[in-house]
Structure 1
Amino acid sequence: MAGYFNEISDDEKAERPSALVDETVKFVHAIRKYILGLLMFQFVSPFLRHYFPYFKNKSDDYIQNIKFINQRMDTIIKRRRQEIENTPLDKPLPNDMLTSIITANTLRDVNYNKIDDKEAMRPVTDLEIRGIIFDGIIAGTDTTANLISFIVYYLAHHPDVKRKMFDEVDRIFQDDKTRPITESDVHKLKYCEAIVKEVARIFSVVNSFPRSLEKPDEIGGYQWPADTMLRINIDAIHHNEEYWEEPNKFNPDRWMVEGFEPKKNSFIMFGGGLRICPGRKLAMIELICLTALIFRKYDIDLIDKKAPLKTESATVTACTELLVDIKLRN
């Protein structure tokens, strides 16, 4: 993403140098390593990380990996900033996320000087841009990509569900397997949405998330002091019989019942509270559209349905291997 897709071109079939592709693959692996390494800094004490050889070597390796990621993103930001500075003000710029962030609160911003607050209207620094882009990569691409893999896996194991999805997709798109999807289509793809939600419930990509107590509180019958970090077990909530009927059963139809609404805080696909995922609506649209666009044209099955789902779990549960057979639908 930070290499291959950073090359903006009007030609979708433009060739990319193999070195750029290799660098992109290296960056993707670094992101995965970062996600797995987060647990080291959340659960292993600084004393162990600094003085015990095993933990110190691991910690040092993860720190070097973070430095590589930061350097790579800084290079991309500086290069794009230079490209923007070299572009005349009367010439349009590419309409991408990075360009939009860099030009925010500058002369190129349509809202420039509309708000009388110098701090709110100051340009975004490179360090802030790096944080925003990094959040976008971690929370906006890796989670979505893994959930799509799990959707393919569960549909392959539940042909009745897949058949219902095919019926919905065929009804909406008719025989046209190439036309762009519209906003109206997204609203009609109710069963595709149900599948996305049910996969997210039964196999959470993010199986827990942390919260820090602002003040002392009693939780689970225990007293906890302020600043205690707690982890909310999303997977346990999504499989709790108090909240879900047959919680271990994959059943997208539960979401199709008229008036159905999960009990409060029993479905935590995007977190909750003030720090709920800001991109949740975009993510749902992406997942629904991608599911429909893939399966309106292709039928995807597993090579070996008896093979266990191969994953790695840290802060995110990632699909490490999914061997599939892809066929054109008639």
Structure 2
Amino acid sequence: MEIFVKSIVKYFEGIIFFACFNSFIRNYIPIIKNISNFYLKNRDYLFERLDKIINKRSKELEKIFVDTEIRIDLLTSLITANMKNASNGEVLKPMTDEEIRGNLLEAFLGRTDTISNSFCFITYYICKNPHVKQKMLSEIDQVLPKSIDKFYISYNDLRKLKYCEAIIKEACRMVPVIPFTFRTITKECEIAGYKWPPGTNFILNFLGVHGHPEFWSDPEVFNPDRFYNDDLYDKRLGDKSALMMFGGGKRICPGRMLAMVELLLLMVLIYKNHNVELVNMHEPLKIFTYVNTNCQELRVRISSRTLFINLV
């Protein structure tokens, strides 16, 4: 399992590698060629393992009786799903193993560590700003006055947590988990006064935009009010359209709604029931960036215990 998980990480690194080096460099520069071959072998290994997993689960499902209750998981859902045309009820062709593998990879590459790292950054800035923490707790207590373990939290309840949502956005503006991304144009475009031919690769610098004074007033200051209350939004606090925590356009993150729900739930469940404080208020946030921005270490005190969170 450890080898399999590492191969997923290497596969993600390979995507970035192949985006940075064109085919000529990958095939004719010896050192780069060796690295390229390594990532290709890793890809083949990962694809083979996933294909075996899919095939094994498919055979298991073939032996299960129609009326037998089966467990619900992503792989089973992808294998058993038959899409129906809403207009005439026509059953379309089920997904191929290759398509299932692609969906699994998308889920793996989206990775839960984006949520865990984002929540570490959120926790750090909440603890560093007591007035923000108090305002957040007041909103949570107002929207969810009962004990968390005695009632059901609905999606409608979460949608009312506007200040909590503003905290999430501001923390992601300060430290975007995805600091940059790539885009390739398919037709000639004019950008910054220059004409760029089809196939040109661009790097979109989210980190640079999120901290640019042209778009944000006092960009180095943590201020959730930039995103609080759309009706009373003060444009002097910044241009919200410059926030790209989930990317943008047609290729915006498809899991953005789920990510917001997860982060809001974490904030409610933890801060409603526990007092969270930084062990050292003067200690800077420890992060490192390779492809994603990761929280290297965050030391917090929860209630009377000290919890060491070490994400590598």
| Structure 2 residues not aligned, in runs of 5+ | 306-312
Give 1:102-251 correspondences, 5 Å limit: 102-105=79-82, 111=84, 115=88, 121-139=92-110, 141-178=112-149, 179-251=151-223
| Structure 1 residues not aligned, in runs of 5+ | 1-22
Report if the CA contact (8 A) 2:119-2:263 is conserved.
yes
**Closer/same/farther in 2, CA of residues 161 and 64 from structure 1, 3 Å limit:** farther
Report if the CA contact (8 A) 1:36-1:314 is conserved.
no
Code of the aligned partner of 1:234: F
**Closer/same/farther in 2, CA of residues 68 and 270 from structure 1, 3 Å limit:** same
- Answer yes or no: is 1:44 the counterpart of 2:21: yes
How far apart are the structure 2 equivalents of 1:154 and 1:282? 22
C-alpha displacement of 1:52: 4.1
Report if the CA contact (8 A) 2:189-2:195 is conserved.
yes
Alpha-carbon RMSD: 2.8
C-alpha displacement of 1:54: 3.7
2:49 corresponds in structure 1 to 72
How far apart are the structure 2 equivalents of 1:307 and 1:30? 34
**Closer/same/farther in 2, CA of residues 211 and 48 from structure 1, 3 Å limit:** closer
Report if the CA contact (8 A) 1:298-1:328 is conserved.
no
Code of the aligned partner of 1:324: V
Q: TM-score normalized by structure 2?
A: 0.83
The one of the two structures with greater contact order (alpha-carbon pairs below 8 A, sep at least 6) is: 1
Q: TM-score normalized by structure 1?
A: 0.79
**Closer/same/farther in 2, CA of residues 55 and 157 from structure 1, 3 Å limit:** farther
Report if the CA contact (8 A) 1:156-1:162 is conserved.
yes
Count of residue correspondences: 300
How far apart are the structure 1 equivalents of 2:132 and 2:240? 27
C-alpha displacement of 1:214: 2.1
Code of the aligned partner of 1:238: H
1:313 corresponds in structure 2 to 289
1:81 corresponds in structure 2 to 58
- Answer yes or no: is 1:287 the counterpart of 2:259: no
C-alpha displacement of 1:103: 1.0
2:310 corresponds in structure 1 to none
Does the residue aligned with 1:298 lie in a helix, a strand or coil? coil
**Closer/same/farther in 2, CA of residues 126 and 151 from structure 1, 3 Å limit:** same
How far apart are the structure 1 equivalents of 2:227 and 2:56? 46
Listed one character per residue, the Cα deviations across residues 255-308 of structure 1 (whole Å, up to 9, x for unaligned) are: 224522874741222122221222222221122112211222233333444444
Listed one character per residue, the Cα deviations across residues 2-57 of structure 1 (whole Å, up to 9, x for unaligned) are: xxxxxxxxxxxxxxxxxxxxx2x544444334334433222134444345454344
1:99 corresponds in structure 2 to 76
